[in-house]
């Protein structure tokens, strides 16, 4: 080899070494020099693919938000549609020494163990599409079942009374996102003349959706509408329809990304009939990541972003959902005035909830107008109307039931007063009538109760369950029943023999349980109570009947108040799912955010735990309520 060739080779090798060093410096653990230069945190972002405009928009949001912070760096990975590769990407990111992982998933089931392993060591934010289980720091996304339900309602509106045939194009089979969107859609159309004639899984991919639908449509003419679970598949459906000149077929999608070939563009060009936004959540993920890394208090477990329907008649309603309650000029530096209409004082949990709100308002310097509706929905509506007359800047309330609020909330909206739901949700035709919900995921509470029961059950044994429900049509009662049933109905060894309507009071729990024991006797194996007070009432009824609560009959409760933990510690209860009553600080933070003109998420779900007889003993000393 000549001297010139050796010299050239040496230069090339030096360039490779230099590139390797530079590459490593971009992805390796931050050094003291980096920190001295202003970098404090390294965040890893794991994406399953970057072929979807929705995911590209998510990364763009993350980058834009990170650019506002000089002490933060972010690393992105793209798994190119491989769950195995994404698992490897996550391991590499952890190896680089990231301080926090943001992960978005196509196949949550395949990645659950990976997420769980990382969560043991560093915070994890699951972004966009959910993960099974509860082992993560924060989930930021949308209510997929609600979006599916809205899509179903729009399909009925589009096809009219005559109905029609629908093809549903789903994402990855078995994904919780797919299951929820499909469930909501099907529930919405179940009593209509619409019917699903074909379901296909296109794994979120445009080309696969195009190929599958094209081949099926060649043999099937009678189709009126396609419902695609994301915008990439909706575009694939449009291409298939165009190839076959079936321009009469309506197409509904989900994502609503305002980008080239995004759903907003497709709707404006009449390629889609309509779509429903699923906000990427990138900016929210970084904002909460900063709070998590700075160890701020009150970090929620889930943040649910608001979805909007996009049609050719679309207009942005965000400003009408979250008006800013800034004081008027004549008020100067006067405190923010919040009207709080509490549902009642029916339980120890409710007393703790009320105290938390009052104490947090004092600490935040907020003027709180507090009224107790004494378990009367009519009185609660009167209180809210009085708050409107008094021109408070924010109204907060814990609704007695889910329904019956449309009229008074419309009055608040017309008055320009944002409404925050604390602890319980409402079911109204227009969800822009309220600004945000702060509280628990009641359905998940029911699921957690049922999962524990199934894990503890002896193989092959049958379990007869008595369910003590809360107030009829209230959000906790509806959600806790639904979540519990979802899980136990998968195993025929578990049967609810009686589901009794209580009102969250100890007296009702005792009376209902005593009556159930007279009817069922010792055949009852399990009591599932929607709150602690009814569970403790059931304990007294079981003892009066001559049986041992916690031994002869398993008792599961929701709330995990101090009184329940005491009963757990002495073996009279078996398991309690926490429902966090200390919502005051989060409510006041939301009020302050509104006063600064910030947009609130649709739902802020609190972090909650579970308690066994063993863990209850350890938690008692520090329990606040």
CATH label of the domain that carries residue 430: 3.40.50.2300
* DSSP string for 554-616: EEEEEE--HHHHHHHHTTS--EEEE-----HHHHHHHHHHHHTTPPPPSEEEPP--EEEHHHH
Residue 294's pLDDT is what?
A: 93
* Residue 81 included in any domain: no
Of 277, 296, 312, the residue at which a domain comes to its end is 277
395 DSSP β-pair partners? 339, 419
Burial of 497 (0-12, 13-18, 19+ CB in 10 A): middle
Count the domains in the chain.
Answer: 3
Burial of 218 (0-12, 13-18, 19+ CB in 10 A): exposed
335-364 pLDDT per residue, tens:
999 999 999 998 889 999 999 999 999 999
Of 435, 457, 474, the residue at which a domain comes to its end is 435
Of 418, 435, 452, the residue at which a domain comes to its end is 435
Give the pairing type, strands 309-310 and 554-559.
Answer: unpaired
Residue 259's pLDDT is what?
A: 61
Residues 248 and 192 in one domain: yes
Could you give the 3-state DSSP secondary structure of residue 426?
coil
Residues 449 and 412 in one domain: no
Residue 509 near residue 468, CB atoms below 8 Å: yes
Average pLDDT of each block of 10 consecutive residues along the chain (625 residues)?
A: 44 40 38 52 94 87 94 94 95 96 89 94 90 87 93 96 96 88 96 96 94 96 95 94 95 80 76 92 94 87 92 61 48 83 91 95 96 96 98 96 96 96 92 94 94 94 97 94 95 96 95 98 96 98 98 97 96 97 93 89 93 94 87
* Residue 126 included in any domain: no
d(CA 366, CA 571) in angstroms, rounded, equals: 42
Could you give the 3-state DSSP secondary structure of residue 469?
strand
* Residue 18 included in any domain: no
d(CA 7, CA 476) in angstroms, rounded, equals: 76
Residues 426 and 469 in one domain: no
Residue 430's pLDDT is what?
A: 87
Residues 448 and 532 in one domain: yes
Residues 485 and 413 in one domain: no
This prediction's pTM: 0.82
Instruction: Report the residue count for the chain.
Output: 625
Range of the domain at 524: 442-579
Residues 389 and 453 in one domain: no
Residues 537 and 461 in one domain: yes
Give the pairing type, strands 274-277 and 367-372.
Answer: unpaired
Residue 451's pLDDT is what?
A: 95
604 DSSP β-pair partners? 303, 438
């Amino acid at each position: 080899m000549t001297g010139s060739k050796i010299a050239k080779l040496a230069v090339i090798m030096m360039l490779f070494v230099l590139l390797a060093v530079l590459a490593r410096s971009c992805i390796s653990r931050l050094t003291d020099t980096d920190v001295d230069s202003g970098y404090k945190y390294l965040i890893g972002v794991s994406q399953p693919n970057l072929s979807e405009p929705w995911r590209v928009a998510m990364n763009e949001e993350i980058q834009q938000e990170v650019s506002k912070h000089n002490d933060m760096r972010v690393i992105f990975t793209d798994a190119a549609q491989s769950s195995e590769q994404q698992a490897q990407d996550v391991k590499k990111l952890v190896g680089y020494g990231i301080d926090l992982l943001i992960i978005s998933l196509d196949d949550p089931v395949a990645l659950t163990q990976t997420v769980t392993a990382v969560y043991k060591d560093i915070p994890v934010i699951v972004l966009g599409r959910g993960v099974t289980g509860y082992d993560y720091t924060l989930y930021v996304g949308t209510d997929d079942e609600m979006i599916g339900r809205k899509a179903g309602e729009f399909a009925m509106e589009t096809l009219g009374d005559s109905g029609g045939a629908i093809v549903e194009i789903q994402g990855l089979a078995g994904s919780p996102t797919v299951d929820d969107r499909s469930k909501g859609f099907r529930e919405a159309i179940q009593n209509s003349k619409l019917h699903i004639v074909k379901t296909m899984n296109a794994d979120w991919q445009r080309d696969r959706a195009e190929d599958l639908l094209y081949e099926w449509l060649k043999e099937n003419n009678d189709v009126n509408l396609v419902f695609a679970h994301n915008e990439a598949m909706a575009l694939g459906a449009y291409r298939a329809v165009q190839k076959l000149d079936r321009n009469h077929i309506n197409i509904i999608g989900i994502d609503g990304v305002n980008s080239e070939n995004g759903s907003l563009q497709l709707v404006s060009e009449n390629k889609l009939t309509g779509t429903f936004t699923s906000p990427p959540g990138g900016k929210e993920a970084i904002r909460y990541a900063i709070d998590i890394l700075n160890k701020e208090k009150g970090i929620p477990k889930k943040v649910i972003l608001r979805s909007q329907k996009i049609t050719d008649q679309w207009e942005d309603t965000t400003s009408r959902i979250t008006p800013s309650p800034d004081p008027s000029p004549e008020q100067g530096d006067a405190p923010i005035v919040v009207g709080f209409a509490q549902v009642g004082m029916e339980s120890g949990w409710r007393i703790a909830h009320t105290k938390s709100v009052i104490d947090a308002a004092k600490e935040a310097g907020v003027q709180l107008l507090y009224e107790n509706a004494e378990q009367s929905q009519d009185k609660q509506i009167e209180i809210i109307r009085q708050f409107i007359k008094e021109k408070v800047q924010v109204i907060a309330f814990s609704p007695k039931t889910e329904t019956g609020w449309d009229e008074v909330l419309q009055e608040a909206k017309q008055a320009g007063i944002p409404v925050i739901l604390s602890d319980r949700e409402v079911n109204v035709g227009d969800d822009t009538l309220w600004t945000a919900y702060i509280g628990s995921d009641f359905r998940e509470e029911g699921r957690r109760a049922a999962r524990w029961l199934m894990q503890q059950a002896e193989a092959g044994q049958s379990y007869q369950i008595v369910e003590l429900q809360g107030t009829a049509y209230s959000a906790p009662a509806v959600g806790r029943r639904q979540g519990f049933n979802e899980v136990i109905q998968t195993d025929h060894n578990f049967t609810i023999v009686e589901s009794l309507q209580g009102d969250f009071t100890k007296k009702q729990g005792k009376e209902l349980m005593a009556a159930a024991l007279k009817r069922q006797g010792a055949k009852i194996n399990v009591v599932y109570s929607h709150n602690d007070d009814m569970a403790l009432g059931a304990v007294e009824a079981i003892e009066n009947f001559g049986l041992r609560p916690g031994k002869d009959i398993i008792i599961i409760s929701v709330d995990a108040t101090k009184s329940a933990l005491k009963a757990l510690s002495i073996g009279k209860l078996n398991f309690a799912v926490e429902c966090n009553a200390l919502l005051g600080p989060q409510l006041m933070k939301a009020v302050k955010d509104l006063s600064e003109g910030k947009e609130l998420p649709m739902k802020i779900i609190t972090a909650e735990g579970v308690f066994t007889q063993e863990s209850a003993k350890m938690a008692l000393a520090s329990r606040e309520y």
